[in-house]
Amino acid sequence: MEQKPIDWKSIIGMSLIFMIIMYWMTSNQPEELKDDQEAVATTEQVTTRATETTQATAVVDSIAVQQPVDNGVFQTASEQVVDFGNDLVQFKLNSRGGYITEAVLSQFKTYDSLPVYLARPGVNDHSFDLEFVTNDGRIVHTKDVVFNATTSKNGDNNVLTLRASVSSQQFIEYRYVLPQGEYMMEFDVRSQGMAQVFNSSTDPKINWEMMGYKRSKSMTNENRYTEAIIEYGNGSDDYTGQGAEAEEIEEEVTYVAYKQHFFTSILLTDQAFPVATIRSKNIESINEEQDEHTKSFASEIQLQYTAGELAYNMDWYWGPTDFDILDKYDRNLDEVVDLGWGIFGFINEWGIRPLFSFLTTGLGIPYGIAIILLTICVRIVLSPVLYKSYLTQAKMKILRPEINRIAEKYKDNAMKKQQETMKIQNEAGASPLSGCLPALLQMPVFFALFKFFPTAFDLRQKSFLWADDLSSHDEIFKLPFEVPFYGDHVSLFPILASIAIFFYMQMTTGQNMQAASQPGMPNMKFIMYLSPLFMLVFFNNYASGLSLYYFVSNLITIGIMLVIKNFIIKEEKVLAKIEKAKAAPKKKKGRFAKKMSEMMEQAQAQQEAQKKGKK
C-alpha cells in the first residue's frame, strides 16, 4: 500500500484549536453638585413638589412603614419603600440604606417567561453601603440609616432624593436621576456639614454586593460569561474570571461592572476611586445542588473626602449587555462585552459584528439564516487560504512515491534523508510549512467567532429550526442522569457539527494517514477522531448558534475542497508544473534557506565524522 505523508497542517491546526479552547474554558454627564446653600434650597423645593408627583415619577409606599430607627448619629425616621423607574427599568428602594433593593427590566423575560431581575429582595441579594468613621471612633454604615425620600421631575427626568440628617444643616444625600428611555441613571453622593462628624483621617468606602441569577435554561453556559469587571488606570480592565473564588485589586478605578451574561450592572464615576477590590464566588461550582444563583459579587471601593465632605458624581447602569447600547455612552463600556483580545477583538468589532448587524438589522434576515450567510461570507473570504492548503496536499501526494524512494535509499542516514526530502519539496513548491501557514491564518477568525456568538445579545431567545434559543443549547432529548463533561441533555447541532468535522478530517488527515504509525510520530488516526469527539462533548452546553456556525462552516469547507479537487486542481497539471520547476535553472537561495542548508550540511559532516571515529 502507498505510504501517505503526514498532514502537518491538520496536526498543528487542530492542536492549536484544542489548546486555545481548553485554555479558554479553564481559565463586557453627571449633574454638577451645587454648593451647600443651593443644595438646601433645592431639597426644600423638591419636598414641596413631592405631593405633585405624577405616575411617571417615583412613588413612596407609605404602607411599608416600620418603627423609627435610632443609630446614635443621624435623626430617627420611619422606614419606607420607594418605587422609582421609567419605561425600561423599574426600581424599588428602601429608605433604610437608601439603596436599590429591586431592579426589573421591563422589556425582557427569562427563558421561562418570568421578569428579568437584576436585583430582587432577599438576604444579601443586593446591597449598597457607605461606611465611614466618626470623630468619636464609631463605625457607621448607611445601610443601617433611614433616609427621608422626596421625589420630583426635572423635564423628562425622574428625580429621587434621599437624605439622612444629623441636623438641618448636616446630612448625607443620595440623588438618583433617571431619564426616560435610558438604562443609565445619574447617582450622586454628597454630604453637607459632616466635616464635624467624619473622621477625615480614615477614608470612607463603599461596600457593594450583588447575586447573579439564572435566566436561561443552561446555567453552565450562562455562568461561563458571568464575571466582575473593573476598569482602572488609563482604560485598562481586569476581571475575576471563572474560578471558585477570585479577587482583583486596582488603583484609579473608573468603573466596576457585575456582568451576568446578557445583563449587567455598572457603577461609574467621574472622579476615579483611589482603590477598589472586587471579589467573586462561583456558587454554581461550589454548590451544584442549587439551581438559582450563578455567582456572587462584592466590592470594596475606597472614597476620599474633599475638605472633610463627600462629593462624588457617579452613574449607574442597569440593563442589557448589548454592545451597541453600551458603546453609545462613550465610556469604554463596550469592553464589558467580551469580543476577545488583540486581533480577535479587532476582527469581531470591525468585521464580524458589523456584517452580522447588517444582515439582521439592516436587511431584516432571520437570525438563523443570518448565521448561515455569515458563515458563507467567512468561508468565501478564507477560500484562497483553503486553496493554498489543498494545493500543498495535492503536491505532497504526487511527490509521495519519490519521497518513499528517498526514504528507502537513505534509511540508515536520517540527516541525508531529511536533506533530500526537503530538496525535492522545495523544488516542487510543496514545503510542509506552506501547508501549515494557511491553517494558522484561519485561527484568528476561528477564535474570534468562538467569542462572538456566545456574547451576541441579539441571539438571545431567537429561534431557528428546532433550537428555541440560539444563545443557549438546542436540547432535543433530556437525559434521566448527568454525564460528566457532557451534561444532562442531548443537543443536535453539536452532533451534526461533529459529523461534518469527521468527514472533513477524512478528506484531509484521512487521505494522508500513514498505514502504521512511526516511532515519535503522532497517531494520525487518534487526531482524526479527537476533534469530532471534542465538539460532541464540550459543545453540548454551548450556544447553539456557535454549533450551527461550525456545522455549516465544515459543510461549506467540504464543498469547496470537492470543487477544488474535481474542477480546479488537476494532478497531471500539478505534476507537469513540478517537472518544469525541476528542469528550470535553480534560483539563488534566500538568506534563510541558504543558512538552513549550510547548517544541515555541517550536521551531516559531523555525523559522518563521528561514524568514522567509531570505526
Q: How far apart are CA 344 and CA 325, in angstroms?
A: 21
Write the burial class of residue 600 (CB in 10 Å: 0-12 exposed, 13-18 middle, 19+ buried). middle
pLDDT tens track for 260-289? 999 999 999 999 999 999 999 999 888 877
The residue ranking higher by pLDDT, 220 or 604, is: 220
Instruction: Tell which CATH classification among 4.10.91.20, 2.70.98.90, 1.10.287.610, 3.90.660.20 matches the domain 32-337.
Output: 2.70.98.90
Lookup result for grid cell 454638577: 32
Lookup result for grid cell 438646601: 40
Report whether 475 contacts 491 (CB < 8 A).
yes
Q: 162 forms bridges with which residues in the sheet?
A: 149, 174
Give the type of residue at 567: F
Report whether 255 contacts 333 (CB < 8 A).
yes
Q: 398 forms bridges with which residues in the sheet?
A: none
Q: Which three cell numbers stand for residue 107?
A: 422589556
Region class of 257: left (phi > 0), else alpha (psi between -120 and 50), else beta: beta
pLDDT tens track for 163-185? 998 888 889 999 999 999 999 99
Confidence (pLDDT) at 40: 33
Question: What values do phi and psi take at 467, rounded to 5?
Answer: -80, 120
Report whether 354 contacts 450 (CB < 8 A).
no
- Ranking 202-206, 396-400, 428-432, 515-519 by mean pLDDT, the lowest is 515-519
The residue ranking higher by pLDDT, 610 or 541, is: 541
Q: What is the pTM of this model?
A: 0.77
Please compute the mean of the pLDDT values over residues 179-205 and round it to a whole number.
92
DSSP secondary structure, 486-522, as one string: TEEEEEHHHHHHHHHHHHHHHHHTGGG--SSPPTTS-
Give the type of residue at 313: N
pLDDT tens track for 335-379? 999 998 889 989 999 999 999 999 999 999 999 999 999 999 998
Confidence (pLDDT) at 217: 86
C-alpha distances out from residue 253 to 271, 455, 528, Å? 9, 25, 48
Taking every pair of C-alpha atoms in the chain, what is the biggest distance, in angstroms? 110
Q: Is a pLDDT exceeding 50 seen at residue 66?
A: no
Write the burial class of residue 485 (CB in 10 Å: 0-12 exposed, 13-18 middle, 19+ buried). exposed
Confidence (pLDDT) at 244: 87
Confidence (pLDDT) at 600: 59
Q: Which three cell numbers stand for residue 370?
A: 443570518
For the chain, give every domain's residue range: 8-20+357-461+548-583, 32-337
Confidence (pLDDT) at 570: 67
The residue ranking higher by pLDDT, 470 or 508, is: 470
Please list, in sequence order, all residues whose beta carbon lies within 8 angstroms of the beta carbon of residue 381, skipping any fewer than 6 positions away. none
H/E element, 175: strand 170-179
Q: How far apart are CA 129 and CA 144, in angstroms?
A: 9
Confidence (pLDDT) at 20: 47
pLDDT tens track for 107-148? 999 998 999 999 987 666 899 999 999 888 889 899 989 999
Report whether 151 contacts 174 (CB < 8 A).
no
Q: Is a pLDDT exceeding 80 seen at residue 224?
A: yes
Please compute the mean of the pLDDT values over residues 297-310 and round it to a whole number.
93
DSSP 467: B
**pLDDT-based confidence at residue 26 (cuts at 50, 70, 90):** very low
Q: Which three cell numbers stand for residue 133?
A: 468613621
Share of the chain above pLDDT 90, in %: 39
Among 417, 402, 328, smallest CA distance to 603 is for: 417
Q: 300 forms bridges with which residues in the sheet?
A: 207, 277
**Highest mean pLDDT: which of 236-245, 254-263, 530-539?**
254-263
Please compute the mean of the pLDDT values over residues 82-100 and round it to a whole number.
92
Please compute the mean of the pLDDT values over residues 94-98 and round it to a whole number.
90
The residue ranking higher by pLDDT, 154 or 396, is: 154
Question: What values do phi and psi take at 164, rounded to 5?
Answer: -110, 120
Q: How far apart are CA 130 and CA 139, in angstroms?
A: 10
Q: How far apart are CA 11 and CA 388, in angstroms?
A: 17
Confidence (pLDDT) at 80: 87
Confidence (pLDDT) at 327: 93
Report whether 129 contacts 145 (CB < 8 A).
no
**pLDDT-based confidence at residue 488 (cuts at 50, 70, 90):** confident
